[in-house]
Amino acid sequence: MTEPQEWSPYAAKKYMERINDETNKQLEVRIAALEKLVDERRLVVNAALKAIEDQAKDAYAKADKVMDKAEALALQRGEQQNEWRATVNDVMSTMLTRNEYKVAHEALVKDTNAVAASLARHEGEAAGIKMSTGTLFAIIAATGIGVTVVVTIIETIIA
């Protein structure tokens, strides 16, 4: 419709209503297109958020498992350390210190030397007795008197 040269109030009103109707239709089409675009974007964003949420849940579950394993390993390590400490404490409590060992060793060496000296003295005495008995028998045998004396002693014991 062409624009009239002169506007009557009724014609102006009709013209404005027609332009208004056309503009409203165009706006409704645009609004519908925008609503459709917003709905599509909302679906995409919701899908992305769901994917992120799923990934976060998976990551949290994996992190939770890792933490459980780490805690178990830490407890195991602590137990091993406690066992090691207990073993070291047992060894330390049953072992002699250097000074205690030195005192005990010196006493042992002194006692060993005393026993060795005593044995040497007794071996010398025993050797001396053996030698004097052997010498006595040799003298008796050499003199001939010994046989008579020995026979006499034996006869006295038997009688």
**Looking at 34-158, which runs of residues are DSSP E strands?**
none
50/56 Cα distance (integer angstroms): 10
Whether residue 2 lies inside any domain: the answer is no
Residue type, 113: N
Of the candidates 133, 154, 155, 137, the residue with the CA atom closest to the CA atom of residue 145: 137
Residues 52/45, Cβ–Cβ less than 8 Å: no
Residues 104 and 125 in one domain: yes
Residues 84 and 127 in one domain: no
Whether residue 29 lies inside any domain: the answer is yes
Whether residue 146 lies inside any domain: the answer is yes
The whole domain housing 121 covers 100-159
Whether residue 1 lies inside any domain: the answer is no
pLDDT tens across 85-124, in order? 998 888 888 877 888 888 887 887 887 888 777 777 766 6
C-alpha torsion angle, residues 5, 6, 12, 15 (rounded to 10): -20
Residue type, 158: I
Q: How many domains does the chain have?
A: 2
pLDDT tens across 11-54, in order? 888 889 999 999 999 999 999 999 999 999 999 999 999 999 99
- 37-52 as b/e, with b when 16 or more CB fall inside 10 Å? eeeeeeeeeeeeeeee
Q: Which of the listed residues 95, 122, 140 is the one where a domain comes to its end?
A: 95
Q: Is the pTM of this model over 0.75?
A: no
